[in-house]
Amino acid sequence: MAGDKVEEEVKPKQSASSAVDVLSPDYPLMVIMRGIPGTLSHSKNIALMLETIGPELGLDVRKLKIAAYYHDIGKSVNPRYFTENQTEDEENAHKELDSWISYRLITAHIGDTVQILVNDPNIPRDVIEWCSQHHGTCIVRYFCNKSGTKNVDNYRYKCTKPRSLEAALLMICDHLEARSRSLNQAGKLSNVDELIDKVIVELLEEDEQLDDVALPKLGYLRKIKFLLKREISSQYHKRVDYDKAMDESTGE
């Protein structure tokens, strides 16, 4: 099963072609994404977050959008095992599966994503690297807890932790989008600030997923939090105290 060792799949000869619109509706990769509408919706929301953050941090927005739209394209291999692609009246595909099998199915989407993207000459190599790192060595918490194991490392993604600001942002936005959507659907998305702080603390401090990323300037993290707060609040129509948020982002 794919997913254990993915960075080797990223071939050095990969190059980008800015002349081809890889995000157009009829582009082959986008056609694949349209076949997994739940994952496509998730990816669109992440693209909106990164479009907001990218210009403020001087990053390549086009590449960030490509990463956002295609970071989970590997889910197209086994779409029904991912909750965003399951309908309300559909039985959970994991119901009768052993937790270890479910873990393997879930984590395989990273390797599957790399295998799909690396065969497209129009996808930049660094974008593929960001996609391969967006789960780092995070724990697949639900199935780890379900298994009852005391060795949580057995349920970690076997990937490389983010090594760039772009990969770190993709990871943060991926976690935030999934959690904010889940909380909103349950009517429990009451405090966007708290959610953002919780996710970043978990990734940065508790699980050390962002240890290999050097922020270019002091205050970047505060600015990232402010921009994410504004975007998520806009997506879910939550009110933001912009004066307070701006003061926090500038350290005043």
Tens digit of each residue's pLDDT (9 = 90 or more) over 180-210: 999 998 999 989 999 999 999 999 889 999 9
Domain chopping of the chain, boundaries = 7-250
User: Residues for the chain: how many in total?
Assistant: 252
Question: What's the whole-number average pLDDT of the chain?
Answer: 88
pLDDT at 237: 67
Long-range contacts of 221-227 (CB under 8 A, 24+ apart): 222/248, 222/249, 222/250, 222/251, 223/56, 223/57, 223/249, 223/250, 224/53, 224/57, 224/169, 224/172, 225/196, 225/197, 225/200, 225/249, 227/52, 227/53, 227/56
CA 207 to chain centre: 16
Tell me: domain 7-250, CATH 1.10.3210, correct? Answer: yes
Q: What percent of the chain has pLDDT over 90?
A: 75
Tens digit of each residue's pLDDT (9 = 90 or more) over 158-180: 999 999 999 999 999 999 999 99
Where do the H-state alpha helices sit in the chain? 28-34, 37-57, 61-70, 99-117, 125-133, 141-147, 165-185, 192-201, 220-235, 242-250
Tens digit of each residue's pLDDT (9 = 90 or more) over 18-27: 579 999 999 9
CB atoms inside a 10 Å sphere around CB 58: 9
Of the ranges 86-95, 148-157, 213-222, which one carries the lowest mean pLDDT score?
A: 213-222
